[in-house]
Amino acid sequence: MKGKIKIVTIGGGSSYTPELIEGFIKRKDQLPIGEIWLVDIEEGREKLEIVGNLAKRMVKAAGLDWEVHLTLDRREALKDADFVSTQFRVGLLDARIKDERIPLSHGVIGQETNGAGGMFKAFRTVPVILEIVEDMKELCPDAWLVNFTNPSGMVTEAVMRYGKWNKVVGLCNVPIMCRKIAAGALKEKEEDLFFRFGGLNHFHWHRVWNREGVEKTGEVLESVYTKPDGLKNAMQGLKSSGVQNIPNIAFLPDQIRDLGIIPCMYHRYYYITDDMLKEELEAFAKGETRAELVKKTEAELFELYKDPDLNIKPVQLEKRGGAFYSDAACELIASIYNDKKTTMVVSTRNNGAISDLPDDVVVEVSSIITAGGPVPISWGGFDSSTRGLLQLMKDMELTTIKAAVTGDYGTALQAFTLNPLVPSGKIAGTILDELLVAHKKHLPQFQEKIAQLEAESR
């Protein structure tokens, strides 16, 4: 990696792009960027123009000579890339609305990452990411793929397992938020704490120690997760309002204490399913599911982005919910490029880091980021309060990815059956079928089954 760096962002028309550009600008001394290519598809052309022009203004305002290219030609962009980041959304936000509303219409959580909705996001995304990997093998075989398209863990697993591409890292902002919350709860600076994260994307736990080597995990658990205002208090002073995707409903204190390790926000879906469902059903009734809100926020953001005088990331973006996501991508790229050995939490090959899972699956764990990629820090084993649930979720992921690759309907139904967020039985089949038909356009691998479903319903 000599000379100027070429960075390609697939899904460049995303509302997050300004954060990404800001992240690169902040690291201008670490990253000798030559070109940034923002790639999108025909349907995203308008958004790409708007956000791409903002990106250009931001770069210019920062006094940098980086070339910012906007293109619909992915292959042209990928040619000789050094880093490829992926933040695309197959089917755009309308697809997410279906992912969330169709399950909810049957009284079932949709959840765009690990619920039925997230599984469909995987079904739509996996074939596309595998195409991108094939292009990369040909056009930029030495590049790193930095994925933050959700479900980030499953997408990363698909790239390694079926794409046979190892230079990939999956990213997420949830661990970043977890760190900030713990620091807030302990009234410590984040950099004064040592964290160990272990689990899967949106399904990990962590432990924390202070500068004296004293484990503070129990203290965080107690103050944040067993008190009504615990989380709010811990987040005071945080500029960002956190992971907007997830309502801050209280966990069950006794269960959390028994756990002994700190869950992530997304564990609410598994640990307090009933309350989460209630909340989601209310949002559903009001037409205010997360996807619908985000769509509205995005429209507002793009209005802002159009302002030809705007040349910095607008503060409103932080409400969007994915705060820190793009910044994490920039930090990861800078860490790889500079062999910084930063410790970050990423989706990567397990390699024994979690001894309850096979070596060759993707996990989300604290890792040292070297020029050769992430090297996980050992977590060790979980106890029986956690181990089996983690193992189930990993197998749910593997089954989902298998279905995404093969287009096998039975495997898809199996994945639904395994997912604790989807009730088993006829209802699983019904939701699966409706989602298949609804997403018909983006599920070529399932076309035969979809045609059959349509024929039956006529």
Annotated binding site for Mn(2+): 172, 202
> Counting contacts by CB under 8 A, is residue 32 touching a second copy?
no
Kindly indicate which of the ranges 58-66, 68-76, 85-93, 368-376 contains the residues binding a second copy, using the contact rule CB under 8 A. 368-376
Cα 373 to Cα 139, 232, 402, distances in angstroms: 20, 36, 26
Binding test (CB under 8 A) with a second copy, winner from 61, 299, 392, 451: 392
Is 162 a known active-site residue?
Answer: no
The H-assigned helical ranges of 260-343 are 268-271, 273-285, 290-306, 325-338
How many angstroms from the chain centroid is the CA of residue 381?
25
Dihedral sign of CA atoms 273, 196, 344, 170 in order? negative
How many Å apart are CA 39 and CA 13, to the nearest integer?
Answer: 7
Residues annotated within the binding site are 96, 150, 172, 202
How far apart are the C-alpha atoms of 339 and 208, rounded to whole Å? 25
What is the rounded distance in angstroms from the CA atom of residue 145 to the CA atom of residue 82? 9
Label residues 364-396 b or e (16+ Cβ within 10 Å = b): bbbbebeeebbebbebeebeeebeebbeebbeb
Q: Which of 301, 428, 436, 438 binds a second copy (CB under 8 A)?
A: 428
Nearer to a second copy (CB atom), residue 323 or residue 422:
422
State the DSSP code for 119: H
Cross-sheet strand order for the sheet of 168-170:
67-71, 33-39, 5-10, 83-86, 144-147, 168-170, 342-349, 362-370
Q: Tell the smallest beta-carbon distance from residue 27 to a second copy (Å).
A: 17
Other residues' Cβ atoms within 10 Å of the Cβ of residue 154: 32
Number of residues that bind a second copy (CB under 8 A): 77
Convert residues 283-322 into a mask of x (bound to a second copy by CB under 8 A) and - (unbound).
----------------------------------------
Asked if 36 and 68 touch (Cβ cutoff 8 Å), the reply is yes
**Spatial CB neighbours of 110, under 8 Å, sequence gap ≥ 6:** 99, 100, 101, 102, 103, 104, 116, 117, 280, 289
Q: Which one, 20 or 259, has the nearer CB to a second copy?
A: 259
Give the Cα separation of 334 and 30 in Å (integer): 6
Give dist(CA 405, CA 286) in Å, integer: 36
Interface residue with a second copy, options 393, 443, 450, 453 (CB under 8 A): 393
373, 438, 445, 446: residue in contact with a second copy (rule CB under 8 A): 373
Binder among 166, 378, 447, 452 for a second copy (CB under 8 A): 378
Give the range of 34-42, 150-158, 325-333, 406-414 binding a second copy by CB under 8 A: 406-414
Taking the complex as a whole, the smallest distance from the CB of residue 129 to a second copy amounts, in Å, to 20
* 351 lies in the binding site for a second copy (CB under 8 A): yes
| Options 165, 324, 409, 446; binder of a second copy; rule CB under 8 A | 409
Does 281 engage in binding with a second copy (CB under 8 A)? no
Please, what is the minimum distance in Å from the beta carbon of residue 32 to a second copy?
14
User: Segment 81-140, which members bind a second copy (CB under 8 A)?
Assistant: none
Binding-site residues for substrate = 96, 150
**Residues in 231-270 that interact with a second copy by CB under 8 A:** 252, 254-255, 257-259, 270
Rounded Cα distance, 387 and 334, in Å: 34
- Nearest residue (CB) to a second copy, 316 versus 452: 452
Q: Of 196, 206, 290, 442, which one interacts with a second copy (CB under 8 A)?
A: 196
Is the C-alpha dihedral spanning 387, 393, 398, 402 positive or negative?
positive
16, 162, 225, 266: the active-site residue: 266
Nearest-CA neighbor of 373 among 159, 179, 114? Answer: 159
Using the rule CB under 8 A, give the single segment among 44-52, 172-180, 280-288, 337-345 that binds a second copy: 337-345
- Between 54 and 261, CB nearer to a second copy: 261
Q: Which is nearer to a second copy, 43 or 142 (CB)?
A: 142
Q: Which of residues 204-233 bind a second copy (CB under 8 A)?
A: 209-215
Q: Which stretch binds a second copy (CB under 8 A): 36-44, 280-288, 306-314, 407-415?
A: 407-415
Q: Which of 316, 424, 447, 452 binds a second copy (CB under 8 A)?
A: 424
34 binds a second copy (CB under 8 A): no
**Interface residues for a second copy in 156-195 (CB under 8 A)?**
194
Active site residues: 266
